Amino acid sequence: MSELNLYDIYNQVKDQSILIEFKGGLSQEILMEMGDIINMKVGVDKKIKKIFSVFIELAQNMMKYSAEREMINGKDKGVGLILFAEAEMNYYVYSGNLIDNDKLQQLILWLDEVNSATEEQLKIMYKEQSKKTLQPNQKGAGLGFIEIARKSSSKIEYRITKIDEKSSFIVMIVKIEKGEKL
């Protein structure tokens, strides 16, 4: 392994106003600790519930669907990178993880559908999705991205980097304006 220049990494994190970052397998315990840190960093900002909700939804998506896996406390968990950053007018939550290419197109279609929906359509989509019965091998009801879209200040941005024939790396970025109404 080549030598890491931690000072360069430290400066990059500082320059980008990254308040918290984590790379690895996520458990509920780690998420709760990260939530406490976000709460301490943001303080009494009224956006904390919205920020934490988006953070949790992205983290849970990574835990469930990442193609990279590791065992944590005897449970199979997804591995990825999640971070929380602050800019002058906005907060940002980023997530990134490997995804199997055979699942990628369906995810893109779902993200595009959610991103193209109006607020009213998102409410309807949420109600319809919550009524659906989960299939035996299904990991979630598909409500996470709808929740994120309802809480974010803009569309869920995503970027995909093809790694090889089997997998790609997906990055999702959610912006939450500091000054918007709750």
pTM for this prediction: 0.85
- Please report the domains of the chain, with CATH numbers, ordered by start residue: 6-177 (3.30.565.10)
- DSSP string of the chain, one letter each residue: -PPP-HHHHHHHHHHTTEEEEEEEE--HHHHHHHHHHHHHHHTT-TTHHHHHHHHHHHHHHHHHH-SSEEEETTEEEEEEEEEEEE-SSEEEEEEEEEEEHHHHHHHHHHHHHHHH--HHHHHHHHHHHHHSPPPTT----S-HHHHHHHHSSS--EEEEEE-SSSEEEEEEEEEEESSS--
Checking if the pLDDT of 35 tops 90, the result is no
- pLDDT score at 12: 83
Task: Write down the mean pLDDT value for the chain.
Answer: 86
